[in-house]
């Protein structure tokens, strides 16, 4: 087994040499265009305090799409009677991202050299109201400067709700017992991504959603689906910071491993995995052999190996390959926890959970039934294909560990849920999600999914996921799973043991 660090990416800004003194309120705007473009820095100030009004718009060429849009900038900044500061943040998005969100990472400084992250504000691109932030820490400073990047950070993801900032890193795993991976005779390696609780003060992010080379392959129509928009996928970001230092409190953290859908990719459920990390979990996902494509740190983009449409034989082979990946990842995590420069000592592998979407439920279900290190499992619209006997085990005998299953609204599943709960020997929960199609159980990157009814279902999934893993990996029970339909009417046919 060998482990190699993934690529390290940073946003770099040019230092400012402007010196300003005696300011009660300073407004600093650092323009940070997309990579490979120069920086255009400007600064405005109001030495007498009070209100300072910036330009209401600044037009520039959008780094993604063809539409002309308004770059991020600070508008009105005003000192309130209680000495807090009100900041107006402005900008607009091209039509390609109209149904999504835009992130405004806001930072503050007292000397224009040392900058501290304040918050990441989220604006719905269809919103018509102004985005305003109240800096309640401002009264503690004699003067204060603010900056926001002018380039857009569009995202399809909901903001993580936990107290931790989220870090993200990649590693290359090499399993020398298996070769010819991705049709390269000498290749035994595959990629994993790790999300972890991080130190917000260290900054970083927002990180790109995927490697740019993946946008084209991931957007292709497949398995009967119409596909996605490559330009939009390439322009999406997340709430994670790349390779930022881990948090110093609360570790070691429980670990949840994730397995992607057939022909999809390891970052397809970033929204859920960031949510877990923000609440003190480490989440790990891998690219299986049947992923659509994968990118290595040296820039090689390789296609996965899959059949479209898949045959039963192809699915069984894929599940067997995936199960070997899952087992190898568990061993690799022990090594990372022992010696990895970033993550050593941060993983509590005695509190290990699993979560899969679609075919990812099959390999992790087999793992969970044979490896007692797995303490709890969540299934997202998974029907256990390619895993003979596993469905019968769920329905007739129950699994050996707590199980949460959430599925698209198909009333024919209700009797199966009742049977599974009736025969369960451990805590077991099932629910249907109104308005959710199969693709709605991963990130809502497709425009047809980026609508409020579907997002309500996604919110319910994240909340139930967090409650489930908090209860069964941390011992913290918020009682949501007693009956989550009270809080989330989008859920139906809820049964539990």
Residue-wise pLDDT for 168-213, tens only, equals 999 999 999 999 999 999 999 999 999 999 987 776 779 999 999 9
Grade residue 68 by pLDDT with cuts at 50, 70 and 90: low
In order of 54, 108, 111, 151, 449, the CA distances from 146 in angstroms are: 13, 4, 11, 16, 35
User: Mean pLDDT for the chain?
Assistant: 87
| pLDDT of 41 above 70 | no
Q: Provide CB contacts within 8 A for 378, sequence distance 6+.
A: 353, 354, 355, 356, 403, 404, 405, 406, 465, 468, 469
Residues 5 and 242: their CA atoms lie apart, in Å, by 12
- The per-residue pLDDT for 32 is 34
* Residue indicated by tokens 């190699």: 4
Question: What's the rounded mean pLDDT across residues 214-243?
Answer: 93
Burial class, 226, CB count within 10 angstroms (exposed 0-12 / middle 13-18 / buried 19+): exposed
The pTM of the whole model exceeds 0.75: yes
pLDDT at position 131 is 95
Q: How confident is the model at residue 441 (pLDDT cuts 50, 70, 90)?
A: very high
- Confidence category of residue 346, pLDDT binned at 50, 70, 90: very high
Instruction: Tell me the per-residue pLDDT of 101-143, one tens digit each, with 9 for 90 and over.
Output: 999 999 999 999 999 899 999 999 999 888 999 999 999 998 8
The encoded tokens of residue 182 equal 């991705």
What are the tens digits of pLDDT across the range 320-341?
A: 999 999 999 999 999 999 999 9
DSSP assignment string, 316-343? HHHHHHHHHHHHHHHHHHHHHHHH-TTT
Q: Where are the alpha helices (DSSP H) in 225-344?
A: 230-234, 270-278, 312-339
What is the per-residue pLDDT across 140-154, written as a single tens digit (0 to 9) for each? Answer: 998 899 999 999 999
Task: Work out the end-to-end distance of the chain between its first and last CA atoms, rounded to an integer number of angstroms.
Answer: 41
């Amino acid at each position: 087994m060998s482990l190699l660090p993934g690529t390290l990416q940073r946003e770099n800004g040019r230092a400012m040499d402007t010196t300003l003194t005696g300011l009660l309120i300073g407004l600093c705007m650092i323009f940070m265009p997309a990579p490979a473009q120069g920086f255009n820095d400007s600064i405005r100030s109001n030495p007498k305090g009070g209100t300072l009004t910036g330009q209401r718009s600044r037009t520039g060429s959008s780094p993604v799409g063809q539409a002309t849009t308004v770059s991020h900038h600070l508008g009105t900044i005003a000192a309130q009677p209680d000495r807090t500061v009100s900041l107006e943040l402005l900008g607009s998005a091209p039509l390609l991202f109209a149904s999504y969100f835009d992130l405004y990472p806001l930072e503050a400084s007292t000397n224009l050299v040392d900058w501290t992250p304040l918050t990441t504000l989220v604006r719905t691109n269809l919103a018509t109201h102004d985005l305003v932030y109240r800096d309640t820490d401002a009264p503690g400073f004699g003067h204060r400067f603010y900056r926001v990047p002018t380039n857009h950070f569009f995202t399809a993801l909901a903001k993580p709700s936990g107290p931790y900032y989220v870090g993200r890193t990649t590693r290359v795993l090499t399993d020398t017992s298996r070769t010819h991976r991705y049709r390269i005779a000498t290749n035994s390696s595959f990629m994993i991504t790790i999300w972890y609780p991080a130190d917000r003060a260290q900054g970083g992010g927002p990180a790109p959603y995927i490697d740019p080379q993946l946008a084209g392959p991931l957007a292709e129509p497949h398995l009967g689906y119409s596909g996605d928009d490559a330009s939009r996928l390439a322009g999406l970001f997340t709430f994670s910071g790349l390779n930022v230092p881990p948090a110093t409190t609360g570790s070691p953290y429980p670990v949840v491993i994730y397995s992607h859908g057939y022909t999809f990719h390891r970052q397809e459920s970033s929204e859920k995995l960031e949510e877990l990390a923000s609440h003190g979990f480490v989440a790990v996902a891998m690219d299986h052999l049947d992923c659509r494509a994968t990118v290595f740190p040296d820039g090689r983009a390789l296609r996965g190996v899959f059949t479209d449409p898949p045959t039963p034989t192809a699915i069984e082979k894929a599940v067997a390959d995936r199960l070997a990946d899952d087992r190898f990842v568990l061993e690799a995590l022990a090594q990372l926890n022992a010696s990895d420069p970033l993550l050593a000592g941060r993983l509590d592998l005695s509190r290990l959970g699993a979560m899969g979407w679609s075919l990812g439920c099959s390999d992790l279900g087999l793992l969970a039934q044979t490896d007692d290190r797995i303490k709890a499992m969540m299934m997202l619209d998974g029907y256990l294909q390619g895993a003979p006997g596993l469905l019968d085990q769920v329905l007739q005998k129950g699994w050996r560990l707590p199980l949460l299953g959430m599925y698209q609204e198909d009333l024919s599943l209700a009797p199966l849920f009742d049977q599974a709960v009736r025969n369960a020997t451990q805590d077991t929960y099932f629910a249907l999600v109104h308005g959710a199609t199969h693709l709605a159980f991963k990130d809502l990157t497709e425009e047809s999914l980026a609508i409020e009814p579907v997002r309500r279902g996604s919110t319910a999934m994240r909340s139930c996921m967090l409650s489930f893993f908090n209860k069964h990996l941390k011992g913290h029970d918020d009682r949501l799973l007693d009956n989550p339909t009270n809080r989330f009417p989008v859920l139906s046919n809820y049964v539990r043991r």
